[in-house]
Amino acid sequence: MIAEPTTASLPNGTTQDAMDVDNDTAQKPKRLPITVTKPIPYTFDLGNLLCNDANPLPPSHNLSEDDIRSSARDCAQALLNQLLSTCPIARSSDNTSMTLTLPPTNTALPREKPIPADKPLTRWQEFAKKKGITGKEKTGKMVYDEEKKDWVPKWGYKGKNKDGLDDWIVEVDEKKEARTGVVGDERKERREERKERIRRQDRKMRANEKRGAK
C-alpha cells in the first residue's frame, strides 16, 4: 500500500506546498548588476588595488549599514571590472592557474618606519674607496671537482679546501726529510697549515673590529 502525499490547507485557501515555494523564492538573494554607474566616476590605482569614490554618502544621521555596505560593494565591483578589462591576463604553462599583471602604482603610500641611516664605512671600505679598489664578484658556495665529477662546497664539510687531508696515500718529500732529518707527516702538516690560516684570519678580524669600534 502506497501512501499519497497530503497537502495541508490554510485558512485563507493557500496550500502548504505553495507557501514553501514562495518562501524559497523569497530567500534567494537578489543578483546585483555587474555594471556600476555613479554620478562622479571612480578613479583607480590598480597597482595598489585602490578604488577612489568621491560620491558623497547620506548625512550621518541618516547613514545606515546598508548604505555603507552598498557603497563598498559597488567600489569592489568597479575595481574588479577595471582589473579584468585593462590588465593583461596570462595562463600558466600547465593550465592550472592564471596570472593578472598589475600596472605600476601612482599613489605614494607613507612608510611605517623611517628610512634606515647609512652604515658607516669600515676601515677597509674607506681605503678601497680611496684607492678605487672594487670587490671580487661572488661566484657562489659551490665549485666543480674534476676528480669527483660533481659540485662540492668550497669550504666546510667535504669542502674543496680539505682536499688531500683524507688521502689514503701521499707522496713523501725525500729532500725535505734528508734536509731536516725528520720523517714528515704530509696529512698532519696540511691540517696544521689549514688551522693556522683560520687562526690568522680570526686575528685579523678581531683587529678590524677593534679599529672599527674606535
**Burial class (CB within 10 angstroms; exposed 0-12, middle 13-18, buried 19+) of 77:** middle
Q: What pLDDT score does 87 carry?
A: 92
Which DSSP state fits 161?
A: G
CB-CB neighbours of 147 under 10 Å: 7
Q: What pLDDT score does 122 carry?
A: 86
Q: What pLDDT score does 21 carry?
A: 47
Query: What's the Cα-to-Cα distance from 180 to each of 79, 155, 173, 189, rounded to whole Å?
Result: 85, 32, 11, 15
pLDDT, block means (10 residues), the chain with 214 residues? 46 50 58 87 93 92 91 94 92 88 89 86 87 74 81 79 68 74 72 85 86 70
